[in-house]
Structure 1
């Protein structure tokens, strides 16, 4: 069962609409006179926070009795829907923009549209297109959609196609990198940087076998050219030269 707390971000109309759907689903006739008090009690039991406190004050303190679901809905609108709500919703709709996927934008746009009254189909399409990303907006406007549902479907189809094309190009490039030329370039041995090896564990015998400098354990120079060497070469160094 949906709940309503009376927060500015909540919609009375959406709360009533979802409650009616649920009662239809469980075969409660909310328009039947014999069910009116039961339906009002069900709705009241699902009020929360500020809305629950308001209902408690109405019933217990002011002794108000709500005859049916519509009388309760109208009372909730008078109490929790500000007079300028339509202006605020239209301003929020104007600022609504696509930052992520088009599906996320559609979700936010539909949430606002469900609360806005008396907006023509063409105005809905224009507002929707204004918030789309540049490429998607151009595509949807080119199609000249006359209904919001058509514009939404066109935007979603365009982004799915573009995403699939990007995925296919990425796979093609990945396959090229693993072609014969790429394999040939990587057939040789890979030199391991000296930073990845603890040089203290490398023995002189290993230096001779791997043709490394005795001083710094690198393989890109001879010991006489070692940048770390500060002492004149000796016979041990000559042995290294011979080994190399």
Structure 2
């Protein structure tokens, strides 16, 4: 009986060992063959992932002085781009200009005088999409003019300063390019122009310092007579004192 029990235990042990060994091999076999059928037909439930590199075109832009010309004269300074609108109730551009967006070195007040999508007194217009021409039908004022042109695309705007311009020398037409406002999907050119605006600066006339009052001629003569009388009186007193001393000594 002991021998039979030993044989039975041995068979059970061998069978268990073989079962455990097969279970250990099963996962690797399934992994190699896809669905475990040994044919590797790709019907596995595992998902194959491929790393794909996506090239993103830079959408940022930076304004440049050569984005806007008046005749053959480029802007003297620029700021932008800024997100939002350059005009309208929600815009802060006019306040920014009056707060010193461009440092003119003197006090100035700014006003919006033209917009290409609405009529104005100066006939400010712009033709073209992401580049083109702009024009005025008359100068912004007599003498030298300081103004800012704002280029607005769908979501941003940039501002360009022209300081102390003589329209008699530059003319009333110029060119623009929105590449300094917002780039399109290619990253090589700007988005289409929504509108352009023009703001004019008026220099503040500071009060002149008070000038010293010049005495009137009659007042000057009177003052001279008084001074002369005082001088004569002093001399008389001095002469009288000297005579008294002389008489006392004699």
Q: TM-score, normalised by structure 1?
A: 0.19
Greater relative CO, 1 or 2 (CA 8 Å, sep 6+)? 2
- Per residue, is there more helix in 1 or in 2? 1
The structure with the largest strand share of the pair is 2
Larger Rg: 2
TM-score, with structure 2 as normaliser: 0.19
